[in-house]
Amino acid sequence: MASRALGETQATWAGRLRPLLQDQHPWQKYIALGLSLALLAALASKLASIGFAELFRGIPASPIFWMAFVAYYLALPASEWIIFKRLWNIPRAGFFALLRKLVSNEILFGYSGEAYFYSWARHRAKMAAAPFGAIKDVSILSAVAGNLMTLAMLALAWPVLGEVAPELHGRTVALSAAVIIGLSFLLLAFRHRIFSLSRSELWMIFAVHTGRLLLTTLLSGVMWRSALPSVSTGWLLVLATLQLVVTRLPFVPNKDLVFASVALFLIGHDGAIGPLIAMIAGLILLVHLVLGAVLTLAELAAAHRS
């Protein structure tokens, strides 16, 4: 009986993880091409929005800042590469596809990167079974981990919110926390219908996302403290919490710019923290533009040769 149950379980998971499409279809290439062309158009339009003179004038010279900045930028694609390396054993080229995914999400619109990465994975059907299910699970667990981290940071920053940022303190934050908790519990309640991967794989994905969020929160604090040594710990907690809240917004591109705008509104243009946040957001956008252009042009050239 036990062996029969095990066989049925394996058959069930095999069915849920089988490739969605056995053969490649022309529409997949058109989707990838369309996303690439749309990304190039968005990159060109965003290029004019950067004030290079102001941006480069405010860049810190601290090597600690730059090491933290590079690690912060690469943390998400690196963590996802670790996840998909475990799930699919993707090659090193998958890291650049995940970089493209990041740039697409931030420059075009939320989840356009997932559509691109799905197309990339489908072209490697021998490597990846049911890429839609796996990509979906990774995205959902990223949101769950982000929600839980946001709640933890809200609890940690709550004693100082009323002092340094009264606009973030009160019923609005409590209501937001309740919504985050409700959505997370809803996902967990229907996990058997929502998720496609096994429990061990889901726990692995959740652990990697949680570790990445802890790392990026720490790296943000390192960047802010290295550029402004006089900034208080209270403001670091508030800014880290605010950044996590902004990253929870779905379908919003340029989350770093949105975070900078919100920070400037709350802090004011006269403080030193506001311009620093805006400068970091500008740097991230500039890296998005450079990497997006290079990766997209390289991909289009490879597609043309093939």
Amino acid identity at 154: L
- pLDDT for the residue 213: 94
- Rounded Cα distance, 234 and 241, in Å: 11
Contact (CB, 8 A) for 222 and 236: no
* 128 in a structural domain: yes
DSSP classification of residue 271: S
- H helices within the chain, ranges in order? 2-17, 26-47, 52-57, 63-88, 93-107, 112-122, 131-164, 171-189, 191-194, 199-227, 233-247, 255-267, 273-305
* 13 in a structural domain: no
DSSP classification of residue 253: S
- Rounded Cα distance, 80 and 38, in Å: 24
For residue 18, pLDDT over 60 is answered with no
CB atoms within 10 A of CB 199: 9
66 band by pLDDT with thresholds 50, 70 and 90: very high
Q: How many domains, the chain?
A: 1
Contact (CB, 8 A) for 199 and 144: no
* pLDDT tens digits along 167-225: 555 555 566 666 666 776 777 666 677 888 888 999 999 999 999 999 999 999 999 88
Q: What SS3 class is residue 128?
A: coil
pTM for the full predicted model: 0.77
* 17 in a structural domain: no
* 107 in a structural domain: yes
Between the ranges 83-87, 158-162, 171-175, where is the mean pLDDT highest? 83-87
* 60 in a structural domain: yes
* pLDDT tens digits along 248-264: 766 566 677 677 777 76
* 16 in a structural domain: no
The mean pLDDT value for 135-164 works out to 80
Q: 254 — phi, psi (to 5°)?
A: 55, 50
* 132 in a structural domain: yes
Domain range enclosing 37? 26-305
Could you tell me how far CA 237 lies from the centroid of its own chain? 20
Closest CA to 90 of 100, 101, 82: 82
* 186 in a structural domain: yes
Q: Which two tokens stand for residue 211?
A: 């570790």
